[in-house]
Amino acid sequence: MTDPIIQAQQVEKYYAQSKDARILVIAPTDLAIYPGEIVALLGPSGSGKSTLLRMLSGLSRPSAGKVLWHGKDLDSAEINVSIVFQSFALFPWLTVLENVEAPLKARGMDAPHRYRRSLKILDTVGLDGFEAAYPKELSGGMRQRVGFARALVVEPEVLFMDEPFSALDVLTADNLRSELLELWQKKTIPTKAIFLVTHNIEEAVLLADRIIVLGRNPGHVRTDFKVSLAHPRERKNQAFTALVDYIYKVLTKPDVVPTEVPVLADGRRVRDQRQMRYEMLPHARPGGIAGLLELIIDLGGRTDIYRLADELAFEIDDLFPIVEAAQLLGFLKVEEGDAAITPEGKAYAESEILKQKELFRKAAIDHVLLLRQITRALANKSDHSVPEEFFLDMLDEQFSDEECRNQLETAINWGRYAELFDWDDARRRFMLHVHEGEDGGEGPADEVTEGPREQEKAG
Amino acid sequence: MRPRLTLSRAFVMERTWPFFIDLSVAAGLLAGFYAILWIAKFWFSSAIPEVEIYRSPAHLPLYAFYSVVRIFVAYALSLVFAIAYGYTAAYNKRLESLLIATLDILQSIPVLSFLPGVMLAMMSLFPSRQLGIEFGAILLIFTGEVWNMAFSFYTSLKSIPRELMEATAINRFSRWQRLFQLELPFAAIGLVWNSIVSVANGWFFLMVCEMFPVGSRNFRLPGLGSYLQTAAAHGDFMAVTWGLITMVLIVVITDQLLWRPLIAWSDKFKFETVESGDRVTSPVLDALRNSSVLGIINRYTFRPVAERFYMEAAARRKRRKPKPVGGESKRGSIAIYVVTGAVLLVVVGIAAFRALLLLKGIHGSEFLRLLGGAGLTLLRVNAALLIGSLWTIPVGVAIGFNPRFSHIAQPVAQIAASFPATALFPLILVALMRVGVGLGVGSVVLMLLAAQWYILFNVIAGAQAIPSELREVATLFRFRDVQRWTTVILPGIFPFLITGLITASGGAWNASIVAEYFQLKGRALSTLGLGAQISTASTDGNYPVLLAATMIMALIVVTINRLVWRPLYHLAETKYRLE
């Protein structure tokens, strides 16, 4: 076997939270990139895909472990990499040509050479004639072409791509993907390996020679396998769909908890979120959960998650939180990549709005510790009001600062919908919900605000 | 029809204009060269602390020229300082909070409090040359121009999107390349708008910085400010009128020749993904862009220099290894930080202690007088803000809701905002004295003059930002006037109103120093107030009182900012944001 270009040895990433707790983002991971392959890194949000990419490309340092470049430490090695960014990261005040020339300028190449090489690469990516345009004059697809040109102009040994197609519409993304594949296969570009981060399963199967699937909390490798389908790959092909289905199964299978908890050199323990009291709330809206359950009922009460994603044209980052939320609330059972509705779920989906809220309230209290704690605290306090810090303090032993906020936001969203409590956003306080006689009028009003948002998301 | 029209016009432009444009650019360059010679000759002449000011309009162009040079030298210094300060604050985690807190306090210290120290230091640095006095005045103007620019640059740096920073890191940009290709362009728009504010502030203080006593010595520099003061003191209204006309001319010319081209040019630095339709146009900028002289100069001087620069930077970088974004600094530097930190702490501690010892010389009764003065000035500032809001809110909303009117009012307003209120002070004071109004009330009028425009412009902008749907709802449901104001208009303009009030409050505090104490016709007019106390202390060289009064003012301003404006601003940003 050939030697790897980049090799990560037991790299991990954690953030110091308080004195004796650190939040582990990426568990110790081994990973290698070999010449001649396109590696796709696939995983749900929160699995640390981008963090891993930044550690491998030398943009950020691992908290522990080593990244080797041709066997040498990344710090002392002369590395030649590029990144294509999700947001393109072009300089809006530079023309297309100036944007592409900038990395060469940084390397001290003289003007005539720089100009010739930039023009050549612009020609290669199909931007001939756009040299003098500014990025804002271009469409999204054209802009990402500039992003590719800027990344390729330095002839990187490894090309990193951080969800490069996810900001583009479906057709443009398809077009750009196949052009990239063509450049790669015809060896028009001297790049030896491509490392692609994505949350689009089909995209990974379309492009990659090897797929690494990450799990989350903390990020860790769940599976790492080769894809030997011949190019061009067809989405309707039997082998293709089988592979996509397999990845869905891997992603929905319950994760096994690793037995040993890593202990740091200074004796502190790294906390693993799966051993915590709080379950991680998936960031889904109640309206989305109801919509998903209704769709599953229409599909006969049991369906393939892959089919579900296809039906909704959702990517896994859109679909998984909703599926997980329904699962957490006991409305849905997931096994072997299949989702089956439970009797509670069926009752919930088919009830009218007030009854629905009641069922949601019951499920939330039964299954979500955080919501249970909030309602209990509100009932016990004499003024029936609790500031958010109180719960943030409890959560932050377990989640990063940002995730704490997200957790609380989702809890507020659910709790408000279920009429478990009220939330005063200006004062950042939870208040006890007052049930009055004509309180029922509030229900539909809530739904009105909920509806359009969901539509927006689906559209 | 339109494209053809523009095409034909562009064509004419191409055929006939370059020659004239090049001619005027060449003339401009020559004139600049001569101006530098002239200024150098004046600065290096022997020092005359008290220049005689002639009231004949024939001297005005030269006076105006001296003042303009002062303003823009101070501005250039501010720009360099602001960039260096903002850069350090944004990238040095250890110093960040310290630097920002310092900025907050410095912003609240009135310019005149710096005056005696700066003046005496400069005089002793260049005892026999005009340069000393000049630099003193320039440094004073600098203290009035610099803080908001430093703040703007810092905030811009902090808001650069992460992926852009990563793009510069992965492509191994040198610090200079990152500065020129990412940081400066990203901050450009904020810097341009703050430059306009800064230069307006500069003119405001120039009017007082050109003519002032320190202790037993009198200083008078030739300039527009001293001309206006002298003219007013002699009751020469012809001369005052000529001076004001010159001031208006300068403001209009600066706006047309500098700010409009700059705003139009900075449009390309807008961090936007789609092109917006509405933009500022500037014929001057078009002319400069079409000039072949400038093109040639660019091609043969700036570009080769920049090339050399980048090659050099790349070569230097090759010798060092690339660092990851936000990487921790090396161990060795921590020791240096600790040592310099400790030394600084001791020095600052001793100096602060000495300064506090100065305060011992002040009697208890003096302190009480200062506190009383502070109370009175606080009242005046708030009275000025209240009166200002009372008339500007209805007028501003009326202008903002009427597109035709605001189309005319906007450019006029922009120029009016640049006009220094202090230029009018002598005139208004004379008028007030004629009517028999004392400075106690009159100073409120002066503060109002300095502060009300900020509220007006922000209210106009706020009224324009209210979506027409909201106004239509109010009409549809037949809201009565009170309801219309309380549910649509006031909440709609709230964020803008707060921004305007914050700026206006700063302006009013600054103005208090000039408004409560004024030298006119050889005698000092003054009223009880903190501003007057600072002015008198500065004039008499009474440093303990100057220090105490300045501390009180800074304390009040910072406290009000923290306790009143910041929460209100937060409220405006969260609850009243129109998205």
Q: Do B166 and A59 touch (CB under 8 A)?
A: yes
Token pair belonging to B4 = 């053809």
Q: Rounded to 5 degrees, what are φ and ψ at B509?
A: -60, -45
B496, B375: one domain: yes
Q: Are residues A217 and A305 in the same domain?
A: no
Nearest to A106 among B163, B173, B268 (CB): B173
Measure CB to CB from residue A102 to each of B171, B314, B325 and give the nearest one: B171
Residue of B311, B324, B326 with shortest CB distance to A108: B311
Is B24 inside a domain boundary? no
A214 and A328 inside one domain? no
| pLDDT averaged over every residue in chain B | 80
Q: Read off the pLDDT of residues A367-421 as tens digits, 9 standing for 90 and up.
A: 888 898 898 888 888 888 888 888 888 887 777 788 888 899 999 999 999 899 9
Q: d(Cα A451, Cα B496) in Å, to the nearest integer?
A: 32
pLDDT in tens, A10-58: 998 887 765 566 778 888 889 999 999 999 999 887 788 889 999 999 8
User: What is the rounded distance in angstroms from the CA atom of residue A293 to the CA atom of residue A356?
Assistant: 12
- In this structure, the dihedral spanned by the alpha carbons of residues B446, B451, B456 and B461, taken in order and rounded to 10 degrees, is 160
Beta strands A338-341 and A421-424 are: unpaired
From chain A, the residues in CB contact with B326 under 8 A are 60
Kindly compute the dihedral angle of the four CA atoms of residues B229, B232, B234, B236, in this order, to the nearest 10 degrees. 130
pLDDT in tens, B303-330: 777 777 777 777 777 665 555 444 444 4
Tell me if residue B522 falls in helix, strand or coil.
Answer: coil
Q: With respect to residue A328, please indicate whether it lies within any of the assigned structural domains.
A: yes
Does residue B217 form part of some domain? yes
B335 and B207 share one domain: no
Whole-angstrom distance, CA of residue B419 vs CA of residue B413: 10
Largest CA distance in chain A: 80
Average pLDDT over residues B479-500: 87
Residue type at position B220: R
Q: How far apart are CA B27 and CA B23, in angstroms?
A: 6
To which H or E segment does residue A370 belong? helix A369-380
Q: Establish if A257 belongs to a structural domain.
A: no
User: Per residue in B191-244, pLDDT tens?
Assistant: 888 888 889 888 888 887 787 776 667 778 889 988 888 887 787 888 888 998
Contact A106 B571 (CB under 8 A): no
Q: Which residues contact B133 (CB under 8 A, 6 or more apart)?
A: B47, B49, B119, B122, B123, B219, B221
Examine the fold and report which residue of A207, A230, A252 is the final residue of a domain before the chain moves on. A252
Task: Give the integer Cα–Cα distance in Å for A351 and A305.
Answer: 24
User: In this prediction, what percent of chain B has a pLDDT beyond 90?
Assistant: 11
Cβ contact A108–B166 (<8 Å): no
Question: Residue B322: its chain A contacts at CB < 8 A?
Answer: 58, 79
In a domain, B4, yes or no: no
Q: What is the least distance, in Å, from the CA of A343 to any CA of chain B?
A: 42
Q: Which amino acid is at A405?
A: R
User: Can you list the positions of beta strands (E) in B198-286?
Assistant: 211-214, 217-220
- A174, A61: one domain: yes
The mean predicted confidence, pLDDT, of chain A is 83
Does residue A269 lie in a domain region?
no
CA distance A398 to A275: 10
Q: Which of B300, B325, B350 is the last residue of a domain?
A: B325
Regarding whether B295 and B386 lie in a shared domain, the answer is no
Residues of A in contact with B571 (CB under 8 A): 426
Nearest CA distance, B163 vs chain A (angstrom): 6
Is B111 within 8 Å of B140 (Cβ atoms)? yes
Q: Which H helix or E strand runs over A161? A: strand A158-162
For B166, the closest of A83, A105, A154 (CB atoms) is A83
Identify residue A371 by its one-letter amino acid code.
L
Of the three residues B338, B360, B382, the one that is the final residue of a domain is B360
How far are the Cα atoms of B3, B101, B174, B352, B472 from residue B346, in angstroms, in the given order?
70, 19, 36, 10, 64
Q: For residue B63, what are its two tokens?
A: 């006076």
Residues A215 and A343 in one domain: no
Tell me: the pLDDT tens digits for B350-377? 877 777 777 777 778 888 889 999 999 9
B433 lies in the same domain as B553: yes
- Of B301, B325, B349, the last residue of a domain is B325
Q: Is the dihedral of CA A76, A77, A82, A87 positive or negative?
A: negative
Structural domain contains residue A277: no
Name the residue with higher pLDDT: A274 or A321: A321
In this structure, of A166-175, B25-34, B55-64, B545-554, the range with the lowest mean pLDDT score is B25-34
Residues B314 and B179 in one domain: yes
A59 touches chain B (CB under 8 A): yes
pLDDT tens track for A66-115: 999 988 888 777 788 999 999 889 998 899 999 999 999 888 888 899 99
Q: Report how many domains make up chain A.
A: 2
Do residues B281 and B346 both lie within one domain?
no
For residue A259, being part of any structural domain is answered with no
Residues B444 and B520 in one domain: yes
Specify whether B444 is located in the same domain as B526: yes
Strands B211-214 and A193-198: unpaired
Residues on chain A touching B325 (C-beta within 8 angstroms): 59-60
Q: Which among A252, A275, A300 is the end of a domain?
A: A252
Residues B313 and B398 in one domain: no
Distances (CA, A) of B92 to B86, B216, B337, B394, B419: 10, 44, 11, 46, 38
Give the mean pLDDT of A119-141: 91
- Which region among A266-270, B299-303, B348-352, B489-493 has the lowest average model confidence (pLDDT)? A266-270
Question: Residues B341-350: what's their mean pLDDT?
Answer: 82
The answer on pLDDT for A223 being more than 70 is: yes
How many structural domains compose chain B? 3
Chain B residues near any Cβ of chain A (below 8 Å): 161, 163-164, 166-167, 169-174, 177, 181-182, 185, 188, 268-275, 307, 310-311, 313-315, 317-318, 321-322, 324-327, 571, 574-575
**CB < 8 Å to A86, chain B:** 163
Q: Which two tokens stand for residue A43?
A: 């995983």
B204-217 burial, b for 16+ CB within 10 Å, e for fewer?
A: bbbbbbbbbbbeee
pLDDT at A455 over 50: no
Looking at the structure, tell me whether residues A146 and A247 fall in a common domain. Answer: yes
* Whole-number Å distance between alpha carbons of B25 and B447: 41
Q: Greater confidence, A307 or B2?
A: A307
Which residues pair with residue A421 across a beta bridge? A432
Report the distance separating Cα A372 and Cα A420, nearest Å: 9
Residues of A in contact with B313 (CB under 8 A): 106, 108
Pair (A345, A397) in one structural domain:
yes
* 3-class secondary structure per residue, B417-480: HHCCHHHCHHHHHHHHHHHCCCHHHHHHHHHHHHHHHHHHHHHHHHHHHCCHHHHHHHHHCCCC
Of B435, B565, B534, B559, whose CA–CA distance to B115 is shortest? Answer: B534
Q: At what angle do helices A388-395 and A401-417 cross, to 10 degrees?
A: 130
Helix (H) or strand (E) holding A409: helix A401-417
- What pLDDT sits at residue B13? 45
Structural domain that includes position A79:
6-252
Write the residue in A82, A89, A426 that is nearest to B164 by C-beta: A89
Q: What is the DSSP letter of B272?
A: -
Instruction: List the beta bridge partners of residue A29.
Output: A11
Q: Is residue B35 part of a domain?
A: no
Q: Which of A60, A79, A105 sits opposite B325 (nearest CB)?
A: A60
CB B167 to CB A92 under 8 A? no
Taking one residue from A and the other from B, the number of pairs with CB-CB distance under 8 angstroms is 92
Q: Which of A388, A420, A426, A424 minimizes the C-alpha distance to A407?
A: A388
CB-nearest to A105 from B185, B310, B325 is B310
Q: What is the DSSP string of A33-101?
A: E-TT-EEEEE--TTS-HHHHHHHHTTSS--SEEEEEETTEETTTS---EEEE-TT----TTS-HHHHHH
Q: Do B259 and B238 reside in the same domain of the chain? A: yes
* Mean pLDDT, residues A126-141: 90
In the 8-state DSSP scheme, what is residue A283? -
pLDDT at A448: 38
- If asked whether residues A294 and A202 sit together in one domain, one would say no
Instruction: Report, in angstroms and rounded to the nearest whole number, the Rg of chain B calculated over CA atoms.
Output: 26
Asked whether B129 and B43 are in contact (CB, 8 A), the reply is yes
Chain A nearest CA to B258, separation (Å) = 20
Question: Rounded to an integer, what is the distance from CA A123 to the centroid of its chain?
Answer: 33
With 80 as the cut, is the pLDDT of residue B123 above it?
no
Q: What angle do CA A298, A301, A306 make, to 5 degrees?
A: 85
Residue at token pair 């650069």:
B160
Cβ within 8 Å, pair B170-A426: no
Lowest mean pLDDT among A141-145, A406-410, B103-107, B186-190: B103-107
Q: What is the mean predicted confidence (pLDDT) over B89-107?
A: 83
List CB contacts (< 8 A) between B163 and chain A.
85-87, 89
Tokens representing B298? 């660019």
Q: Residue B273: list chain A partners with CB under 8 A.
A: 92, 136
3-class SS shares of chain A: helix, strand, coil, % to 5: 45, 20, 35
Query: Do A246 and A316 sit in the same domain of this protein?
Result: no
pLDDT band at residue B278 under the 50/70/90 scheme: low
Closest CA to A78 of B484, B407, B322, B276: B322
How far is A92 from chain B, CA to nearest CA, in Å? 6
B369 and B235 housed in the same domain:
no
Question: Looking at CA atoms only, how far is residue B577 from chain A in angstroms?
Answer: 13
DSSP-assigned beta bridge partners for residue A219 = A26
Q: Which domain holds residue B449?
A: 362-574
Q: How many CB atoms lie within 10 A of CB A302?
A: 12
Positive or negative: CA dihedral B508, B513, B516, B522: negative
Neighbours of B190 (CB within 10 A): 20
* pLDDT score recorded for residue B481: 85
Residue B519 backbone phi and psi in degrees, to 5: -90, 120
CA closest to A151 among chain B residues: B171
Q: Categorize the per-residue pLDDT at B382 as very low, low, confident or very high, splitting at 50, 70 and 90.
A: very high
Instruction: Considering only residues A205 and B335, tell me which one the structure prediction assigns the higher pLDDT.
Output: A205
Q: Give the tokens for residue A442.
A: 């509030």
**B327-339 pLDDT, tens per residue?**
444 455 677 778 8
Inter-chain residue contact A102 with B177, CB threshold 8 Å: yes
Write down the pLDDT at residue A454.
39
CATH number of the domain within which A28 lies: 3.40.50.300
Residue B452 sits in the same domain as residue B492: yes
Q: How far apart are the first and last CA of chain A?
A: 47
The two beta strands, A220-226 and A64-69, are unpaired
* Whole-number pLDDT of residue A21: 64
Nearest 10 degrees: Cα torsion B482, B488, B489, B494: 120
For chain A, the residue count is 459
Domain assignment present for A444: yes
Strand, helix or coil at A157? coil
Dump strand ranges (E) for B197-293.
Answer: 211-214, 217-220
- Claim to verify: residue A83 and residue A24 sit in the same structural domain: yes
β partners of residue A341: A332
Residue A15 near chain B (CB below 8 Å): no
Angstrom CA distances, B303 to A67, B295, B298, B571, stand at: 40, 10, 6, 48
Q: What is the CATH number of the domain that holds B139?
A: 1.10.3720.10
Q: Of the residues A208, A231, A252, which one is the last residue of a structural domain?
A: A252
pLDDT cut 70: percent of chain B above it: 88
Q: Which of A11, A136, A150 to mutate to test the interface with B (most CBs of B within 10 A)?
A: A136
Question: Would the CB atoms of B310 and A106 count as touching at under 8 Å?
Answer: yes
Residues A89 and A32 both lie in one domain: yes
**What is the arithmetic mean of pLDDT over B484-493?**
88
